[in-house]
Structure formats: structure tokens, C-alpha cells
Amino acid sequence: MGFTPLAGTRAPVRVWTDPYTIEAQAARQLRNIGALPWVHGVAVMPDVHFGKGATVGSVIAMRQAVSPAAVGVDIGCGMSAVRTSLTAVDLPDDLASLRSAIEAAIPVGFAMREDAVDPRRIRGLEQAGWDDFWRRFGTLDRKVAQLQTRAQRQLGTLGGGNHFIEVCLEQGGPDDGRVWLMLHSGSRNIGKELAERHMAVARGLPHNTDLPDRDLAVFLAGTPEMEAYRRDLWWAQEYARRNRAVMLALLCQVVREAFPRVGYDEAISCHHNYVAEESYDGVDVLVTRKGAIRAGRGDLGIIPGSMGTGSYVVRGKGNPDAYCSASHGAGRRMSRGQAKRTYSTEDLAAQTAGVECRKDAGVVDEIPGAYKDISQVMAQQDDLVEVVAHLKQVVCVKG
């Protein structure tokens, strides 16, 4: 499709959807971001929608600065997936017991583990670096020091909202019917606590007093506030990655117990709320992706739709105009509150027909109708990624 420039901004803001379809609040946010003096440029993904401070579905390249709101509160949130050797014919007609086994192995919603994860007891889990990882907790913002036990007990848990675990079937191609395992989660409460503390610090810094939106407050390179944020940010991004790795290993074990001869390919994992040091146009920048994945040439990524519409495994094309990025999903087209007012549990059951999942009032806000059309989102970014596999869920676990 290619991009359309957003008019009226100091830095270039390139949009991978029709700018006239962007909600007014989100368009205002994008213009505010494009006005910041530190911004090198912005790429706007087709799943764009309004968010706190910075728009969800925005990729912001900054020179010598970073805005914690441009990362979001769920630092390191992202996706993991693995293709199995199973096919649709291996699965039973009734998938309720498989869903129950997943829910028994992986706490969801606000639930925590009774004891911290012992990596040595989880088959297939990366064993390196755990002691050093937890040792570094003591270097984080002192205000979260009392949260270590909670962070340990939440590692390997899903959370709620739009987080999910799925069993999917590949659609079309030579591997039609192949079973994939997929999940979406982030840094749980500890990432949120760290993000909110740093966002509050940034809002109080003198250079942020005249911003069009105080939630866009930035840290500047070479300052103690920036160093403190980056220290906590890198740790929280690693927490999110390890959290998904634990859950994926446990999910693989659940499936292995049901199907002892199952085999697994190499897993795919990608953040979509994070910061990376990259270079574009000969300029070193800090790139924040809030609701966007890295799509460098050859990079594998995962773009989910909703709990009834399926997902895509993609390979990046390395488009520098988009700062080598792509969307993180379908993106919401209505708020959670609006979804609850608009849809009923009967609508949810109809829109998730054929999927073994919750169909109660507690997840109506996640109904497929509350999200944009994932096929249209994919069509709008065909210059950013190519499709490797189209997946359709048959089991969806939500918190």
C-alpha cells in the first residue's frame, strides 16, 4: 500500500492507513508527537488507535531522548508462537479438556503462582542467566523493592485484558491444518509499576513543562533520569521475554502430555511495546514501538487479530520508511466500555463460533467486533511484511 504523510507536523509522520479514518483523538496525539523537538520521525501502523500519551500503533524515532509513554505501561508486551508436528486430524472433536489443562498449568487474570518458577523444573526452558536476572532486581527503582516476591510469583502467568493463549490451525498452503501454539503477554504488574514511576518523574522535569501533552514527557540522554529509566526498561523487557518463554514451555508440556509424540519447531518471539537502539538516515536514534513489531528484512513476527478471527506469522521486508516496523495486531476500533454497551454474550458466542473459549460477560470487551478487520490491516502493510502463515484459533484461553 505504501504510506501517506500526515500534514501539519514538524517531523515526518508517515501513515500506513487512510489518515481520514484515524480517530480525532489519535490524530491529535500524532501531531503532538510530530511537534516534539527530539523526534526524527514517526511511522503510523494500520492498527493505530488512541492511547495514553502516545498512540497505540506508533513507531517513534527520537534523537538523544525517549518518552516512556511511547513505550506504554506493559513494557515488553509481545507474542510468542511455535509450530508443532500435529495436524488438525490429531486433535479431538471436543477441545474443552485441552483448554482446561492449559488453564490449570498457566495462571490467568489476576492469579499468581504459589511459588516462584524454578527454571530447572520446566522442560525446554532456556536455563541461562536466571540468577543474574533476579540479582539485578536489586538495582531497580527503590520504590519497587518490596515487589520482588510478587514479580517472582507472576512470572509465567498470563494476565488479563487482551492477553491470550491459543491453539491454532494453519490455513492454506502445503501445511494446511498444521497445529501452532501461540500466546500474548508482557511484563505483568512489575512492568506497569516501573513504567508509571518513570512517567511521573518525566512529567516533573523542567524541559517538559511546555509540551503540548505532558504525558509525552521525555528523558534526555546523558541525564541520571534517562539512565535510571533505561536500566529499569531493559530489565522489564527481559522479564516480559522470560515470562512468555516460561508460559510457552509450559504450554508445550501440556500438549506433549496429551500427544506424547508431538514435535516442535524453533519458537518465534517478538516484543511490541519496547525500545531499541537503531540507525536510520545515518542518524542513531532510540526507536519506541508501542503496538508495533520490528519487521527488519527477514525478521519473523506475529500479528494477531482477535479471539475469533485468526492471526498471521510474517517476515519483515525491512522498509526504512516505517523504521523497519509493522503492526502488532488488528487494533481496537472501539473502547472496552463501548464494546460492553454494544455487544451481548449472545453476540460473543456467535462471533467465536467454532472456538473453544470463554463466552461469558467477563470477556465481551474482547469480542472480535471490537477490533478492526485484520485482513484489511494486513493488506495495508503489504510493503512492510510478507505472510508466512495464516492461522485460525480453535482454542483461546483468556484471563
Residues with catalytic annotation?
A: 328
Nearest to 211 by CA among 67, 351, 323: 67
Task: Give the whole-angstrom CA distance, residue 263 versus residue 351.
Answer: 32
Give the cell for residue 102: 492449559
* Residue 100 CB contacts under 8 Å (≥ 6 apart), including other chains: none
Q: Which uninterrupted H or E stretch holds 201?
A: helix 188-203
Task: Give the whole-angstrom CA distance, residue 29 versus residue 26.
Answer: 5
Dihedral of the alpha carbons of 144, 228, 69, 236, in degrees to the nearest 10: -60
- Coil, helix or strand for 286? strand
Residue 200: Cβ within 10 Å count: 11
Q: List strands edge to edge, sheet with 13-15.
A: 4-5, 13-15, 39-49, 56-62, 283-290, 273-280
Contact 398, 20 (CB under 8 A): no
Nearest to 328 by CA among 121, 98, 54, 44: 44
Give the cell for residue 81: 508462537
Nearest to 352 by CA among 391, 390, 310, 385: 310
Residue 292: Cβ within 10 Å count: 32
What percent helix, strand, coil does the chain show, rounded to 5? Answer: 35, 25, 35
Contact 59, 53 (CB under 8 A): no
Contact 216, 53 (CB under 8 A): yes
